[in-house]
Amino acid sequence: MDKYIVKGGKKLFGEVEISGAKNAAVAIIPAALMVNGVCRIENLPQISDTDKLLEILSLMGAQVRLVNKTTVDVDCTNVYLSDEIFELTKAIRASYYLIGSMLGRFGEARTTMPGGCNFGVRPIDQHIKGMKALGATMNIGNGLICASARDGRLKGNRVYLDKVSVGATINIMIAAVLAKGQTVIENAAREPHIVDLANFLNSMGADVRGAGTTTIKVRGVEALHGGTYALIPDQIEAGTYMAAVAAAGGEVRVTNVIPKHLDCISAKLVEMGVEIEEGDDYVTVKRDAVLRHTNVKTLPYPGFPTDMQPQISTVLCLAEGTSIVTEGVWDNRFKYINELRKMGAEIHVDGKVAVIEGVSGLTGAPVAACDLRAGAAMVIAGLCAEGTTTIEDVEYIERGYQDIVGKLRKLGADIVAVTEPNDPADKTATASAG
Ligand code: EPU
């Protein structure tokens, strides 16, 4: 029942610190299931997806202890399969990584089909192909996935991915770590969080090589041991604040980032007339000139990330001239454009292509977050629009952005989170600054 109320028109100034990478965290927490001993995970983002995954591990017998807000100790020494996790696994996308980690740990897996943001069909055939190649029998029906490894242990093999898939690359990598012999993943995805997962696994005793290239080799080991690992910063959270400054104007230092991971985003913003200065672990983003139009095509890393497509499209609504945005990863990731139209955006969508005619400004309106990144786009639109924007369904946003309201308020934005009681008879709303 939460919503955000944004009063637009304020430029953003100051410094914002980026949290740990959501898509690394949601792979590394399930991977911790395979570790015999205590895994200390640092720089963990405080978001609902990671909370749910930690709860899933607890329901499977793991000892989960928060050391501080961004550090957690996970001890999976005494874990077991449990059907109690199903309500949670249905609710998040990354629960599919439990297939790989359960097969690795127990030689069998029991979970549900994953949930997550809805932007059309999200097949997992490449995950299944990978598990089968490693010797698993897969039974899928009634929303459940039950898998078991022949002879109780997976066996390394060569897997060629028919499509570059982040999720399948990660899942197969996880499953292969405790398999017998060597696994080679070809046509692998190369996203920064794939390298992060490989570094995590290696620091716990795994033997993973080639992550960050299209061929990953995993030599199976007998067991993983505990250790400490700090997650990389979130590329997409950083890109979202960069886009917010581009849209609203101002000057912000985005800290705790790896600038190299932001190259693809910075390059597009620079083409649009945004000034970007790179430091060792920060980027400064400044925009006071008129925005220029450009074209964007989303692609697997190192291409422009699909998870930044709604945010950059929102910025392009304010650029002079016509911009073309082509979605190269997902079939149906333009649903949010209807919401932007309510704010005065002029966008024509044809299949995977959006043609954006720049307008002189957006106007506030009641809109909804259709999914996580679409929700972030609505926040950006609200920040630069004239008047008030009310954003419903913000639980999508909170799946992936730690304290977005608090971070934006620190930069001078006029945004509040409002919780409305479920009881329609009770009209009092409680506002919080997030
Ligand atoms: N695909 C298949 N078969 C598969 C798997 C994927 O055909 O078995 C296709 C998909 O339909 C899509 C393409 O391959 O067209 C890429 O999908 P991918 O598997 O890379 O996506 P994912 O692993 O399900 C992750 C992120 C998404 C992000 C994509 C692409 C997580 C939990 N999710 O999804 O993040 O959009 O990679 O980079 O890591 C988000 O953070 O907002 C988000 C949706």
Q: In whole angstroms, how far apart are CA 400 and each of 91, 361, 376?
A: 14, 28, 10
Taking the CB of residue 162, how many other CB atoms lie within 10 A of it?
10
Separation CA 336–CA 393 (nearest Å)? 13
Residue 426's pLDDT band (boundaries 50, 70, 90)? very low
Structure tokens at 292: 């220029």
Q: Which atom of ligand 1 is nearest to the CA of 371?
A: 42
In the predicted structure, residue 67 carries a pLDDT above the cut 70: yes
Q: For residues 262 and 243, what is the distance between their CA atoms, to the nearest angstrom?
A: 12
125 Cβ closer than 6 Å to some ligand 1 atom? yes
Residue nearest to atom 34 of ligand 1 (CA): 167
Residue ranges in 134-260 assigned as alpha helix (H): 166-177, 192-203, 235-248
Q: Stretch 37-64: mean pLDDT, rounded?
A: 97
Beta strands 430-432 and 414-419, pairing class = antiparallel
Q: Residue 434 and residue 418: Cα distance in Å, rounded?
A: 9
pLDDT tens for 244-284 read 999 999 999 999 999 999 999 999 999 999 999 999 999 99
Average pLDDT score over residue span 210-231: 98
Catalytic residues: 117
Is it the case that residue 84 has pLDDT exceeding 80? yes
pTM of model > 0.75 = yes
Is the C-beta atom of 398 inside 6 A of ligand 1? no
pLDDT at 433: 29
Instruction: For 317-349, write each residue's pLDDT tens digit.
Output: 999 999 999 999 999 899 999 999 999 999 999
Ligand 1 centre to CA of 94 (Å) is 10
Distances (CA, A) of 397 to 45, 240, 307, 310, 405: 13, 12, 13, 13, 10
Ligand 1 centre to CA of 125 (Å) is 12
Q: Which atom of ligand 1 sits closest to the CA of residue 93?
A: 32
User: Taking residues 182-193, what's their average pLDDT?
Assistant: 98
Q: CB of 329 closer than 6 A to ligand 1?
A: yes
